[in-house]
Amino acid sequence: MLETLFLMGQGFINALSPMNLLFAAAGTAIGIVIGCLPGLSAAMGVALLLPMTFTMAPETGLIVLGAIYCGAIFGGSISAILIHTPGTPASAATAIEGYQLTLRGKAGKALAVACFSSFCGGLLSCISLYFFAPLLAQLAMKFGSPEYFWLSVFGLTIIAGVSSKSMVKGLMSGAFGLLLSTIGMDPIEGAKRFMFGQASLYEGINTTCALIGLFSMSQVLILAETKIKERAKAAKFTDKIALTGSEIKRLTPTILRSWVIGNLIGILPGAGASIACFMGYNAARQFSKHKEEFGHGSIEGVAGPEAANNAVTGGSLIPMLTLGIPGESVTAVLMGGLIIQGLQPGPELFTRYAPMTYTFFAGFVLVQFFMLGIGLLGCRGFAQISRLSDAILIPSVAVLCVVGSFAIHKNFTDVVIMMIFGIIGYMVRKFGLNPAAIVLALILGPIGEKGLRRSLVLSGGSPAILFSTPVCWVLIGLCVFGILSPIFMNRVEQKSLEQAGGGDIVAPMED
Amino acid sequence: MKRISALLLALVLLMSLAACGGGGAKQSAAPAPASESKAEGAAPAEGTPADSAASEWAPTENVTIIVAYKAGSGTDNTARVLTAYAEKYIGKPVIIENLEGGSGSIGWTALQQAEPDGHTLGFLNLPNFNSSITEGLADYTVDDFTAICNHVTETSVVLVKADSQFNTLEDLVQYAKEHPGELKASTNGKRASNHIGAQMLANTAEFQYVDVPYGGTADQLLALRQGEVDFSVAKVADFASFTSEVKILGVFAADRLPELPDVPTVGEQGYYDKWLGSSRCIAAPAGVSEDVVAFYAKAFEQIMQDPDYLKAAEAAGITTDYQGPLDTAAMVWQQQEFAEDLESAWGA
Amino acid sequence: MKKTDIGVVGFMYGVCILFFVLSLDLKPEAQTYPRFIMAVLVALTTLYVIQMIFAARRYGVTSGMEEIFAGFLPKQFFCILAMIIVYLILMYLVGFYISTVLLMVGCLLFLRVPKWQIIVSTLAIIGLIYGAFTLFLGVKLPVGLLFK
């Protein structure tokens, strides 16, 4: 034990070398830029810069990649908040409340909250990375096919929570998303389903591509339909960036919840930051003491998803480093990087290569501080983008959508798919359906389908397998809670609404 | 006035993003010369690629190698280790372009359609490349490509969990025969490479099993480690980080593997006796001149003998297996015939 | 209820019919799951229809169009949409950078943005994309058929 602590301390000393610090700072900055550009996800950022790290020392290379990973997950929130364009799928849920804050002229505050919560989420996830890695890694081994099915069902219950006024319409959006998620190869039979003759649909609709269409392109069309607003005049700025003590106190429970959620989701292979951010958002909403603010810009609605998605970063490293199981596409790339450096993930990383591993961990901690620093410094500047006239935003965001969707696979088909989703997203938002529910279903659909159908293959068709383990029952309990609590809450809300005299059906995402 | 200053600020920001992008580009270019200097002195034909090739042809611009899988995937990793040492012998920087999607068919379609001027090459993953043709995912055929050389060959093995009741392939087959349809095998996808292996074993040993597709090798092996399935077929490099958790029951090869001398071949135990596995070879679009093929075959042969490359390849667990253009073309065709014959193997 | 919701319901039923017809070509094992999802979607849509009928009885029927499209400027909207679609076609023909400049300038002129702002924001976007995508990440943006 003492020896381990010594190694940990040694790691910090190594990580504080000027070279490592320089690369950590540069990596964080690059990550933030990659994250806030739509279409460039954390995984792509890490993959694109991976070759650069081959010539570095292994620990420095890993720190750079970790920095890009964390930076990109945080960076996605910047564009989500400012222009309703989640830079990565991991910040899709941040756009919901963050953009409402921007519309109310509080972009700076929203960015500061996002930055602070990302920092907390990331830093807290390091605790589990340092001290509970072997223990938590066992969780990854406990999750088999039936568990993944229930996890995705639980994720889908969030739809009931995010669709406030008409739950049926929210659920319809979810089912529509699930149907779209069946496009592509059948995971069990290998049959080509609903591909409309496009080879690029073989692996299903790309989530990032659909997300850019549903959130960003639809936003362009929404901006284009009415008289152009001059933002700087339209919204009066009472924008104080620094967080007050009472705000931090208010956010603390949300951040702690999101940390636990994000960390656990991160450990589960195949789940990842995009699911965690929705779960974090949902938890923030369910337990908030200021529920009335949700839908109109709530700082908890920004802190919840952002703390959760950054808590994923530390969590997802755990199964990769200890068991060689890449949980997310980012960690798969990181694992590739390790292998190229001649390091096999597994227990050896904590014995023979412990100095390198602990240097990387220490670097990972330092990266969180760089992220906080760069983020807070940048907040004021970034927030200025929210003052740009809509007239300038319309073509600029459209161009970014196109270039972002093209960059995913360097494929023009993806751009066309993005455009189709843009028009669907516009109609969906106009007619009170819920784009967030569609995205969520697109992310969870394949996980749930694989879990369900694989379980049935394993059991020879008997559904009893879905109720066979304690973990299954825990998840079933969560599902029941997830379904019942918003129904109950809706009752309460509707009563208060009826008293106030409101009655029509408008999705919470609409401006 | 406020608006103007806001716009200006935004502009400065955007520009600083761009500037930071530019800075990064310089950074990313920097490692290339570094790797060159590291390898200095090791090469007999330093900096004179024209000498090293028998033909007169040499690339006049950057060479692009298309990898049909994402960055960080197995194919990408091996490709990057190879290209890191390529410039010395090829004379121009070699750039990897990841064009993933469509189970590889998107990248290979791009390779098929590329200009056959010798500046665009690609990695073909056998047998996935062949099944993309037989499954009708793409419009190309084997004739649309010219094989240059083989890079990596990986052999399939039969695996069970370390605490499994089966200690030999014989045990497994006997149990499977006594309990038809009870044993479950995880595969990396329906009719994907590792499913082929399990099916070949089952066909030759005449037992029935349930195949459970997991969509990828990592997930497939996780299911084996979790005990969700009873056995699995995978390649040696796939489980390098957790060898202690699995038992290898048999190797799909004509002879025992040098790195696994104690593991009998599947054929030795009376079942499928031919080689099964995957290879990654380098090809160009059809229509490249013979000089181009000769140049690259020679260059890649030299790279694969470069001591620095060999050191890196060993560390990364890459089983280098150079084969010349003719052998490689024969292998592609042989795999294609194998893929086409498979239809009968799947049975009902 | 709102009349516009009839459109929503019709769209959902339409999607289900389309996918159902497409699923006829699949082998039986692959049909089950997508059809299950279709059944869920049909059930939810029907539930919504029932809710609509009840709402119609209680609160009466409104068109919903005026409310949803309050402040809708058809000319502006469809011109911008058309510009974006033309932009995609142009990109296919003449490549990314030329078409982007045309879109930015065209769109900003149409929206009557002051000239200097047009120049500045076009340069900013081009600079950003050139720096981040082309230089830094080495993404090859479309060059266009005409220049191939």
For residue A441, what are the domain limits?
2-497
- Summarised one tens digit per residue, pLDDT across range C34-76 is 999 999 999 999 999 998 898 888 888 877 777 778 788 889 9
Q: Is residue A503 part of a domain?
A: no
pLDDT at A20 over 60: yes
Contact between chains at B10 and C124 (C-beta distance less than 8 A):
yes
Instruction: With cut-offs at 50, 70 and 90, classify the pLDDT of residue B75.
Output: confident
Query: Using CB atoms, which residue from A179, A395, A410 is nearest to C38?
Result: A179
| All residues at 6 or more sequence positions from A294 whose CB lies less than 8 Å from its CB, including other chains | A97, A164, A285, A288, A301, A508
B95 in C contact zone (CB under 8 Å): yes
- Summarised one tens digit per residue, pLDDT across range A73-127 is 999 999 999 989 888 888 999 998 999 998 888 888 999 999 999 999 999 999 9
Average pLDDT, chain B: 81
Nearest-CA distance A238 → chain B (Å): 15
Q: Which pLDDT value is given to residue B190?
A: 83
Mean pLDDT of A253-259: 94
pLDDT at A506 over 70: no
Mean pLDDT of A45-67: 85
Residue of A nearest to B243 (CA): A346
User: What whole-number percentage of chain C has pLDDT above 70?
Assistant: 99
Nearest-CA distance B199 → chain C (Å): 20
Task: Establish, for the pair of chains A and B, how many residue pairs have beta carbons separated by less than 8 Å.
Answer: 170
- Summarised one tens digit per residue, pLDDT across range A356-382 is 999 999 999 999 999 999 999 888 888
Report d(CA B213, CA B260) in Å as an integer: 27
Contact between chains at C30 and A186 (C-beta distance less than 8 A):
yes
CA distances in angstroms from A499 to A295, A493, C6, C105, listed in the order given = 19, 10, 28, 50
pLDDT at B4 over 80: no
Nearest-CA distance A9 → chain C (Å): 36
Mean pLDDT of C10-32: 91
CA distances in angstroms from C102 to A90, A235, C94, C110, C135, listed in the order given = 33, 31, 11, 12, 22
Which residues, listed in sequence order, are joined to residue B235 by a DSSP beta bridge? B156
Mean pLDDT of A190-202: 83
Class of domain B155-251: alpha beta
Q: Is residue A198 part of a domain?
A: yes
Q: Is residue A510 part of a domain?
A: no
Contact between chains at B7 and C120 (C-beta distance less than 8 A):
yes
Nearest-CA distance C54 → chain A (Å): 14
Range(s) within chain B of domains with CATH label 3.40.190.10: 155-251
Report d(CA A29, CA A24) in Å as an integer: 9
Parallel, antiparallel or unpaired: strands B231-235 and B145-161: antiparallel
Q: Is residue A61 part of a domain?
A: yes
Mean pLDDT of B56-62: 86
Neighbours of chain C (3+ CB pairs under 8 A): A, B
User: What whole-number percentage of chain A has pLDDT above 90?
Assistant: 40
Nearest-CA distance B10 → chain C (Å): 9
- Summarised one tens digit per residue, pLDDT across range B84-115 is 888 889 988 888 888 887 788 888 998 998 88
Contact list in A for residue B314 (CB cut-off 8 A) is 342
- Summarised one tens digit per residue, pLDDT across range B130-146 is 988 888 878 899 999 99
Query: Using CB atoms, which residue from A144, A188, A326 is nearest to B226?
Result: A144
Mean pLDDT of A303-317: 93
Contact between chains at B184 and A458 (C-beta distance less than 8 A):
yes
When divided into structural domains, chain A yields a total of 1
**Domain ranges across chain C:** 4-68, 74-147
Residue of B nearest to A387 (CA): B6
Report d(CA B291, CA B304) in Å as an integer: 20
Q: Which pLDDT value is given to residue C131?
A: 87
Range(s) within chain B of domains with CATH label 3.40.190.150: 49-153+277-345
| All residues at 6 or more sequence positions from A74 whose CB lies less than 8 Å from its CB, including other chains | A31, A32, A35, A114, A115, A118, A122, A306, A310, A371, A375
CATH T-level fold of B49-153+277-345: D-Maltodextrin-Binding Protein; domain 2 (3.40.190)
pLDDT at B49 over 60: no
Report d(CA A443, CA A329) in Å as an integer: 14
Higher pLDDT: A109 or B27? It is A109
| All residues at 6 or more sequence positions from A190 whose CB lies less than 8 Å from its CB, including other chains | B135, B189, B190, B191, B213
Residue of C nearest to B95 (CA): C138
SS3 B178: helix
